[in-house]
Structure 1
Amino acid sequence: MTIRATIAIDTADFDLGEVLTAHDTFAELTQFIPIDDTLVPYFWAENLDLDAYEAEVRADPRVAQLVHLNEGAGRRLYQIEWADNMDGFLEHIHTPELLVESGRGTNDRWVFRIRAQSREPLAAFQAACADEGIVLQVQNAHHNPDDPERPLYGLTDKQQEALLIAQANGYFEIPQEKSLTELADEVGISRQSFSRRLNRGLNTLLINTLCTAYKL
């Protein structure tokens, strides 16, 4: 049985996330490499002024080193090394029992998609975070014993990303916190493309949840 969960955390409760989203940056973690008992994250950053972003991150006392590795389409790939003890949230989420499928954040909130073989590692992760006062919002937890690789609720990865970014940035709140244009800018696509992706995701989600439950 495979358990997939989507977890949100306020950026203020996630030291590494706070550093990576400095200067109003959209960041996406790609992988973690263990070096000398320390996790070295790799991440993409998207910002209109990446030079200023680099300067701000390097000036942060929590950062030992920031290495610019690659770039393209208005974003850059970095490796970052931590100057002090590992961030508590990062330490707990990076365990052999949990697989981080994606991690994306802004200066307000980070959203992670994680996977485990049972509910026990997920529960242990939540408990460890709670013990340190780290507040998590588990937005969904889904399992499919027959087809563990089946897309969640029939959503494509891009549709899931659009829905999660919209929710995390208050698009569905009243009053609305961010517009479609602002959300599209974070993803790096046009407003029309993001709107189409979001609407298709909402339609698919409704079909595979409420419509299925009520046999509509």
Structure 2
Amino acid sequence: MTVVARLSVPAAEFELGAALAGVEYVEVELERVIPTGPEFVPFFWVRGASVESVDAALAEAEPIEDAEFVDRAGDALLYRCRCGRDDASVVTGLERAGLTLLSASGRGGRWTFDVRGDGWETVGAFREFCAANGIDVRLESMGPLGSAGDDADDRLTDAQAEALVAAHEAGYYDSPRRATLAEIADDLGISRQSLAERLKRGTHNLIEAMLAAGSGPNK
């Protein structure tokens, strides 16, 4: 089953976010990302900053090359550049996990990524990559493809998504189980009762979203 997820990392842990750390801006939004071996080529909009400040920041950023101001639309500046990446970068992690980057934006010191993958395990693989490389990733939301327009009460919340992924990664759903509710709840810093409720409600919302997306039996 195809899933979509929203993940976020501190701006300093994403190459472009780190490059623009010294620029006062409202928001940065990726327009398009083209992976090219050890590099990726992003087109991105910077809102609320001057051309001079962005040019200066990109010129001094070590992983950024061939940065070019392309166009302007109101207070939004369109740029493109070549950005180096290493084996521990966020873009490398997304690629290795089998996740497709749908959109990305930076605001308030964090970058948020909307991604699509073939199954829940792709999101888990990316989280494992981040943990292994010291990247502070946060799962904001997750659900089956097509669930984004569902009623708010039937969408997977951040807390439910975190609980479901943690339970899956810990082996709670394995047979035999490799972790108990109490152990997982302790890792998350919540009570066993709270975890059980999140798993129950999260499972319900996943099934509702799957059926609404036409992925249920006989669909």
SS of the residue corresponding to residue 91 of structure 1 reads: helix
Per the alignment, residue 119 of structure 2 pairs with: 118
TM-score (norm. length: structure 2): 0.61
Residue 18 (1) aligns with residue 18 (2): yes
| Structure 1 residues 79 and 97, CA gap change in structure 2 (3 angstroms) | same
Number of residues of Structure 1 aligned to a counterpart in Structure 2: 154
Give how far 1:151 is off.
Answer: 2.4
Per the alignment, residue 127 of structure 1 pairs with: 128
Give how far 1:150 is off.
Answer: 4.2
Give how far 1:107 is off.
Answer: 5.2
Per the alignment, residue 149 of structure 1 pairs with: 146
SS of the residue corresponding to residue 62 of structure 2 reads: coil
Kept in 1, the 8 Å contact 2:20–2:57? The answer is: no
Instruction: Measure the CA separation in 2 of the matches of 1:23 and 1:141.
Output: 31
Matches within 5 A, 1:35-114: 35=36, 37-82=38-83, 85=86, 88-95=89-96, 97-106=98-107, 108-114=109-115
Look up the equivalent residue of 1:40 and give its one-letter code.
V
Say what the alpha-carbon RMSD is for the aligned residues: 2.7
Q: Specify every segment of 5 or more residues in structure 2 that has no aligned partner in the other structure, as ranges.
A: 153-157, 159-204, 209-219
Give how far 1:99 is off.
Answer: 1.8
Instruction: Measure the CA separation in 2 of the matches of 1:2 and 1:53.
Output: 37
Larger radius of gyration: 2
Kept in 1, the 8 Å contact 2:11–2:109? The answer is: yes
TM-score (norm. length: structure 1): 0.62
Q: Specify every segment of 5 or more residues in structure 1 that has no aligned partner in the other structure, as ranges.
A: 156-163, 165-208
Instruction: Measure the CA separation in 2 of the matches of 1:128 and 1:63.
Output: 23
Instruction: Measure the CA separation in 1 of the matches of 2:150 and 2:125.
Output: 25
Look up the equivalent residue of 2:14 and give its one-letter code.
F
Look up the equivalent residue of 1:149 and give its one-letter code.
G
Look up the equivalent residue of 1:114 and give its one-letter code.
V
Give how far 1:142 is off.
Answer: 1.3
State the percentage of identical aligned residues.
Answer: 21
> What do the CA deviations read for 1:103-154 (whole angstroms, capped 9, x no partner)?
11025111111111201111111111110010111012112xxxx3342444
Kept in 2, the 8 Å contact 1:28–1:105? The answer is: yes
Look up the equivalent residue of 1:82 and give its one-letter code.
C
Kept in 2, the 8 Å contact 1:48–1:74? The answer is: yes
Give how far 1:43 is off.
Answer: 0.9
